[in-house]
Structure 1
């Protein structure tokens, strides 16, 4: 038989441990919530390895703006806006395309000049890309000048047309068209009789244009 004194001591001991057991019981859910959930087995496999060169997205994709397809996409969007006579959007798209092609032309020219006398194959490849980008830049500039003219803003069209004549030269088709626009706008009163030439230019200006 347990004496009354022993029973009291046991009861006191139980009461003394009661708060600690309750505390541990309350802490268990909190600790469970703070545990980091385990990732599914397939989660790590679904993440691409960016150290793999095959996972690097090239800038030549249509989704990239700093690329030839990106600039051509802007030209296509501008033509659609022109067809619906939304000249404000067309002007914005053409200005963006013009800047993209101008940057590309400068970048390709800079890269090519770095290989001059070192690797002629790389030099010639980058030079051709610079010329192609400059040609598209001038075409976008010409379309932008026509949009400004349609908006009755000849003061904005004239500087663009002069830039085209300087870049394309008066003997090329686009240069002659730009000069003719200057004549029609009344900025020039002397029509050009220079015969047109569709041969590609030996070099095309890739200097930044405003």
Structure 2
């Protein structure tokens, strides 16, 4: 049988050794952390193309891309089909998209052309002609969109579009006169257009710059 004095000595010895045991336990890293294997980075060399390789740089496909004259004309054709089937909601969507495409193209061509003004007249004239063509198609899409809004009994939406066309095409051009006539029919204006139509020479001279928006 252990005496009370012996028990006290054993208890004191256990308590004295406790801090050392705790310290050793804290110094040892967790077993779970030791067994974890860091994840290796994924090998993306097979999934991501080398963008520095000229063979990987593909040009814009006019047959499938939207940012092209062909892409905008395709949207106009889809809008015409939607109007023929009296699906005016779809027609308005397609015309709005075509309008945005042609407006972007006109701005881009005009910006490129102005960069070559006084440097390379050949590039300047080429980009200027493209800007004018894109602007004409933009205004055509805008006019058709205004007519679709009228067919939907939404003349308030057609008015600002028609005013944009008059400003862009000028009241003497065919499309500008048509837009002004639409404003007259809607009742937004009450003064008939008395401006003379542009002659062929006027049209050729006015086409030297892109219609303004």
Alignment TM-score, normalising by the size of structure 2 = 0.70
Say how many residue pairs are matched. Answer: 159
- Aligned position for 1:135: 136
CA displacement 1:123-180 (0-9 Å, x = unmatched): 1100110000000000000000000000000110000000000000000000000000
- In 2, the alpha carbon distance for the partners of 1:144 and 1:134 equals 15
Shift of the alpha carbon at 1:206? 4.9
Q: CA deviation at 1:193?
A: 1.6
Please name the residue that 1:173 is paired with.
174
Answer whether contact 1:91 1:144 (CA < 8 A) is retained: yes
- Is the 2:184–2:190 Cα contact (8 Å) retained in structure 1? yes
Structure 2: gaps spanning 5 or more residues: 1-48
CA distance in 2, matches of 1:174, 1:134: 12
Under a length normalisation based on structure 1, what TM-score does the superposition of the two structures give? 0.71
Q: Secondary structure at the match of 2:94?
A: helix
Q: CA deviation at 1:203?
A: 1.7
Deviations 1:168-208 (A, max 9, x none): 0000000000000000000010001222226242322354x
**Cα deviation code 1:50-89 (max 9, x no counterpart):** 9456x75432521010000000000000000000000000
Query: 1:114 and 1:87, CA in 2 relative to 1: closer, same or farther beyond 3 A?
Result: same
8 Å contact from structure 1 (residues 67, 104) kept in 2: yes
* Counterpart position of 1:102: 103
Q: Please say which structure displays the higher CA radius of gyration.
A: 2
Instruction: Find runs of 4+ consecutive structure 1 residues off by over 6 angstroms.
Output: none
**2:7 matched residue in structure 1:** none
Q: Tell which deviates more after alignment, 115-124 or 60-69.
A: 60-69
Q: What stretches of structure 1 of length at least 5 have no aligned partner?
A: 1-46
2:209 alignment partner in structure 1: 203
Q: CA–CA distance in 1 between the matches of 2:134 and 2:114?
A: 16
